[in-house]
Amino acid sequence: MEDGMATVLLISSLDTRSQETLYAKRMIEHYGCKVLLMDISMGAYKDCGADYSCLDVAAEAGVPFEQICGKKGTADNLGVMVRGAIGIAKRLFDQGLIDGIAGLGGASNTTAFSNIMKTLTFGFPKLILSSSAAMPAYAGAYYGFKDIAIFHSCIDINGLNEFVKSVIRRFAGMIAGVLRVERMKPQTNGQQVSMSEFQFVEVCARKITGILESKGVQVIPFHAQGVGDRIMDEMIGDGLFKGSLDLVPAGLSEALFGGNRDAGLERLEKEMAAGIPVVLTPSGFDLLSCGPYERRVSDPLWKKMRIEKRKLYVQDQFRVQARTSKHEMEIIGKAFSEKVNKAKVKVAVFVPLRGFSSLSIEGGPLHDPESDQAFVQSLREHLNKAAVDLVEMDCAYNDDSFAQAIAHRFLGMLEVELKHQDGLQNGATITG
């Protein structure tokens, strides 16, 4: 930073978009920011005054640039340049030398920018100007599970006609405007914790949140629909939370069986490796998301798992929850145990024996105590008692007693952890 000015790391390929990139640099500077320019060209070196040339980026990755520009095929070259750019960007970020990151280009560059930006923490401004942002096959991958903003240019960013200049000016204004509002990454005071939740545990989640917030602990909720829970894991891995209430870890079981809320087979791993207080419950393991309902006619998942023969909860034409079987619950129990057994510090698993969600309680559409019991038995067999404290309670999920037990246990775990952190000396205490 210079004279209090925010600094933007601007990334582009100067061999193909030098005039457009330099115009963007001038505009960002015009709007009050300093710019560090990084060139990730793969075709040729072009001296345009980049702070980090394509020669520097390739060298950061340990590959001579001559080896890249003389090689055909984008994929390998792109991987090298991304690796080098990540090294430079993370070093600048760690040293506090940049306040935001931005890039402009087409499909290949957008892929590179997004992979670079995904390595930077939540809350750090990230903006891409892309002519390929709306391509259905690519759009989701560009965002990934990070807070990346993408501005669809609609026109090709090629040349400096009035339409392109207008788009670039707005792009420059966006990143400069964001940095007037938010220049620092989020600073936690030692009392922010994450919580995974969904509709079928919302009563319990609200009760727990109320108890924790009355003690000065701020709860950050994530919708466990396969994306929100992945983002939660990423943010835990970035060190943004001092604890986690993983009420709905079922992105794991959805991944095992192909459900809509699939959060990947790596679900829980960053959480267990973080060394923070964690309380988990088995909600969501009692069901499989398999909508829309029209899939029943010919969908392979419905046929393979004989979903139409199961207990179903059909919320609407798009959302369908199918009951998981006794055998599936045994598999889930083993897989879940293997994940939590790897916890860096001891975690707690709370199990309500009268139903794992509002759908599987007595009278609920997915009530199946025999299958629930198969899960509990699997936990008893596979959990490592040295790493995990299993708490079985004779209640339903949304009962007051369950919420209170979780909240008070978690507060105790958090209090112990906070006593070992510098934040305690700075006033980060749990009140009450």
Retrieve residue 40's tokens.
């990730």
Total domains in the chain come to 2
* Same-domain status, 220 and 265: yes
* Same-domain status, 156 and 23: yes
Residue 15 lies in a domain: yes
Residue 431 lies in a domain: no
* Same-domain status, 310 and 227: yes
* Same-domain status, 265 and 383: yes
Host domain of residue 291:
192-424
* Same-domain status, 150 and 205: no
> CB within 8 A of 278, min separation 6: which ones?
243, 244, 245, 246, 271, 272, 343, 347, 348
* Same-domain status, 252 and 131: no
Residue 247 lies in a domain: yes
Last residue of a domain, one of 148, 181, 214: 181
Residue 348 lies in a domain: yes
pLDDT reported for residue 74: 67
Residue 356 lies in a domain: yes
Last residue of a domain, one of 157, 181, 205: 181
Stated pTM of the model: 0.82
Residue 429 lies in a domain: no
* Same-domain status, 64 and 213: no
* Same-domain status, 381 and 245: yes
Last residue of a domain, one of 119, 150, 181: 181
Residue 432 lies in a domain: no
Residue 192 backbone class (left: φ over 0; alpha: ψ -120 to 50; beta: rest): beta
- Spatial distance between the Cα atoms of 210 and 217, rounded to a whole number of angstroms: 10
* Same-domain status, 144 and 236: no
* Same-domain status, 165 and 219: no
Residue 299 lies in a domain: yes
Q: Between β-strands 312-314 and 320-323, what pairing exists: parallel, antiparallel or unpaired?
A: antiparallel
Nearest residue to 217 (alpha-carbon basis) of 244, 235, 236, 249:
244
pLDDT along the chain (432 residues), means of 10: 80 95 97 97 93 97 89 78 97 95 93 94 93 74 85 92 96 95 60 95 97 95 94 93 97 96 96 97 97 89 92 91 97 98 96 97 97 98 95 97 98 83 53 53
Assign residue 360 the CATH number of its domain: 3.40.50.12030
pLDDT reported for residue 190: 58
Nearest residue to 346 (alpha-carbon basis) of 421, 277, 263, 245:
277
pLDDT reported for residue 389: 97
* Same-domain status, 107 and 225: no
Assign residue 102 the CATH number of its domain: 3.40.50.12020
Retrieve residue 382's tokens.
């596979």
Other beta carbons within 10 angstroms of residue 102's beta carbon come to 29
pLDDT reported for residue 1: 46
Q: C-alpha angle with apex 355: 277 to 343, nearest 5 degrees?
A: 25
Retrieve residue 84's tokens.
């080098």
* Same-domain status, 147 and 245: no
Peptide bond into 300 cis (omega under 30): no
